[in-house]
Amino acid sequence: MRVAVFIDPLSTLDQSADTTLYLLRGGLRRGHSIGIFYDDDISVEDSVYAFVKAVAADGETIVTTDRSKERLDAYDLVLVRKDPPIDMRFTASLTLLSLAEQSVPMLNVPSSILAYPEKLLPHAFGRYYPPTIVTSDIDEIVRFRAHHREIVLKPLYEYRGSGVYVSGMGDRNFAAVIERMLLRERLPVVAQKYLPEVDAGDRRIMLLGGVPIAAVNRLAGPDDHRCNMYAGGVPSVHSLTESERAICQEVGPWLASRGLHFVGLDIINGSITEINTTAPTGLTAFAELSGEDVSVAFWDYAEEYIRVRRRTE
């Protein structure tokens, strides 16, 4: 199987922890031919094409070999695995890639990544969404905090917990932080009711084709409120509760039917705080902690997805 992967520059990724590279190593072990490409490699003329670098495994390290100009529809599968922030460069790349959605299977589908921003997507499942407001109006955020007493502020299109700020009543930095966030991004800000149950952990549940394949519980480090592993959160293997399984059974098929096959649900005490669709992480940590090679399940799914796609064309 020939696979092209839209990815961040290889030099910026942690070879020991990055989920995409973990998946690539699994695909190479299965004998798949894999290449990677970046934002600047994508073009559209009579078709969507990219300058693709072939990859190989040098031990546990992913390295690039030959570079060639390739039509994306010459591949069996395109994996979209680039990290946010979703800025105009990323938006342009996804828009160009979306032009090839009908000609080559993609995980995840670029048009759906654009249509369903990660911090807004939980709104589609209202009863699992904690009280949240997304606004550029400072007075509305002030009103929201006065009602909920303690809130979390998040930039709309950032990731890995970047720029996340917790504010309670009496916080003298509150107005300055909001003003800075709004002026810097010139975008709406996400304000969400603070869930104290986060002290027991923030669950990252990985869904593949709507079905959970791995889950970790992330605890914030001693000097930070954020549970993200990139911010120092400490993961442990998590067994899903009955309520979490019910959430996955409701949410998973809805996402998969829209081309969001591989996603990461972030759940705190039964509330979905985010749904990661661009390049969800957590598989490497789960594999290391559990001893289970979950890349096998990923490639099993990808191969079957291609077979089904071909039968319906």
Q: What is the mean pLDDT of residues 184-202?
A: 90
Query: What is this structure's pTM?
Result: 0.92
User: Do 279 and 20 form a contact (C-beta atoms < 8 A)?
Assistant: yes
Whole-number pLDDT of residue 220: 76
- The bridge status of strand 150-155 relative to strand 211-219 is unpaired
Whole-number pLDDT of residue 169: 86
Total residues belonging to the chain: 313
Whole-number pLDDT of residue 232: 58
Of the pLDDT bands very low, low, confident and very high (cuts 50, 70, 90), residue 310 is confident
pLDDT of 299 strictly over 90: yes
- The bridge status of strand 189-193 relative to strand 202-208 is unpaired
> Lowest-confidence range among 55-69, 110-124, 171-185, 294-308?
171-185
- The single-letter DSSP state of residue 34 is E
pLDDT of 229 strictly over 60: no
Closest CA to 160 of 266, 292, 256: 266
Sequence-ordered alpha helix ranges (H) in 99-241: 110-115, 138-148, 174-185
Q: What is the pLDDT of residues 63-79, one digit of tens each?
A: 999 999 999 999 999 99
User: Do 209 and 217 form a contact (C-beta atoms < 8 A)?
Assistant: no
- The single-letter DSSP state of residue 167 is E
Q: What is the mean pLDDT of residues 228-240?
A: 76
What domains appear along the chain, each with residue ranges and CATH number?
A: 2-115 (3.40.50.20), 131-194 (3.30.1490.20), 198-298 (3.30.470.20)
Whole-number pLDDT of residue 237: 96
Give the three-class secondary structure for 57.
strand
pLDDT of 80 strictly over 80: yes
Identity of the amino acid at 54: A
Whole-number pLDDT of residue 114: 96
